[in-house]
Amino acid sequence: MPNRLSKRAAALSAAAVLVSSLLTGCASGFVDGELSSQKLIWNNCPAPSASEGGGTAPSPLPNGGRWQCATMKAPLNWDDPTGGTIDIALIRVKASGSPSERIGSLIFNFGGPGGSGVTALPAFAQDYETLRTRYDLVSFDPRGVGRSAGVKCEDDQQLDAFFQQDETPDNAAELTAFLNSTKQFNSACQKHSGRVLPYVRTTEAARDMDLLRQVLGDKKLHYFGISYGTELGGVYAHLFPKSVGRAVLDGVVDPTQDPAQSALGQAKGFQLALDNYARDCTSKSTGCPVGRTPQDVENRIVALLKRLDAKPIPGIFPRRLTQTAATNGIAQALYSKDFWGYLTEGLQRAYAGDGEVLMVLSDAMNGRDENGQYSNLIPANVAINCADEKPRYTPADVKAKLPEFRAASPVFGDFLAWGMLSCTGWPVAGAANHPNVSAPGAPPILVIGNTGDPATPYEGAKRMAEALGKGVGVEVTYKGQGHGAYDSRNKCVQSVVNGYLLNGKVPAAGTVCA
């Protein structure tokens, strides 16, 4: 099972969904010098591909900023740059201010792994208009994602069945079915994308970013990484400390944890976010329609999930809302406080036997659109995580850890514990227990932790700042809700980040925004 709650900011597209209710062929190899001197051809952007999530071509920004897209060649195998290339899909909008004030390019990664930067940057661009006064805003589909040698596994019909399965097995028969489904998914990935699977590690994406820096003509890499993008940024700083410019890491992955520790941290993080939602709902003078007290809200959710495990309810025809889909949908709604109203509506309707809203939220988490078409978000997420992460867990490992996970979260514990089997039987060996982000010699890097973050718990920010090294990691705390901080539109957070990226003003370590 893919750990679909992992390190993701791209899932925030759920709001738009609710409101509106392949491998690239390898060319003959360039030598490294030719790659770094390649000229990008920027044109009007096409509509996003199905693998990027589909939709329409991005509209110009309100002040007339026009989106441009290009393709960059990168080695399939960085250890053998002459052995063939892949295409890396790029998008940009030029700086809006005076050319004399332009700093360079600001490169974004919005998380995942598996999120398409080509679709995410236009979706969130208005939040970065202040930064655009001095930067070209640039993003990309990392290797394995979207139109950048996107990993392909099962087809849409097979994925529907995959996401309907019971991912918290209670007996031997359910466990066998779960393991067989995971094996079938992994085999499909190997069949359709075997050539690219060994080369989608975060270290290789970081080397692509340094090539992008050179191709864009920038002496330094100015960077804004969110969620998994913080891990990518930390790995880049480790590999290329002297090339780091002004960098911000927001919604921070803990680089010191192995996958089991990370999954347990997420169980605690999503439970904290659910508790915060329940307290907010039950504090309203109008009353909370899904519980009288925070504990009552949780008890009713646990009871709902137990009922769905035995008997799913109608979701989006012909699919039914299963325990797995409901858990996924609840988690999706906790990524942003803006979605809490959808969670209340989804729970109300599920209690009445209607699973549509929770299924829409679950579909958004899985990269499924209203037409039943999946992006490659989940295949890319699994492929990159499994290429990065060395541990391979067994059912016995999960069963041994279940009590600890259940204590951490009665709602999400089982789901995240069994998710530890995502990479079991994966055809490519994982690289390490956790990423190396030590970056001696790099300039200050802002590391922003959100105390209410479900997906990348707050404690990870301090550990990232420490792992980057003394004088490099500068921790900033945001006392808020949801995943990440800058896109919450908190004025303090945005002032701190804008002050650094635009003017080089380094905040005091330990700065707190509320």
Angle at 379 between CA 180 and CA 228, to 5 degrees: 125
Torsion sign over Cα 433, 434, 438, 439: positive
Residue 475 CA to residue 138 CA, distance in Å, equals 25
> What token pair was written down for 39?
């000229």
The three-state secondary structure class of 143 is coil
Q: What tokens appear for 184 in the block? A: 């079938």
Map residue 101 onto helix, strand or coil: helix
Picking from 71, 69, 57, 63, the residue whose alpha carbon sits closest to that of residue 123 is 57
The residues annotated as belonging to the active site are 227, 453, 483
Q: How far apart are CA 401 and CA 338, in angstroms?
A: 33
Helices vs strands, H then E, count in the chain: 18, 12
What whole-number distance in Å separates Cα of residue 58 and Cα of residue 295?
44
Location of structure tokens 């990518």: 232
Can you tell me which residue has the tokens 């499994």?
A: 386
List Cβ neighbours of 367 (8 Å cut-off, separation of 6 or more).
53, 114, 374, 375, 376, 377, 378
The SS3 assignment for 200 reads: coil
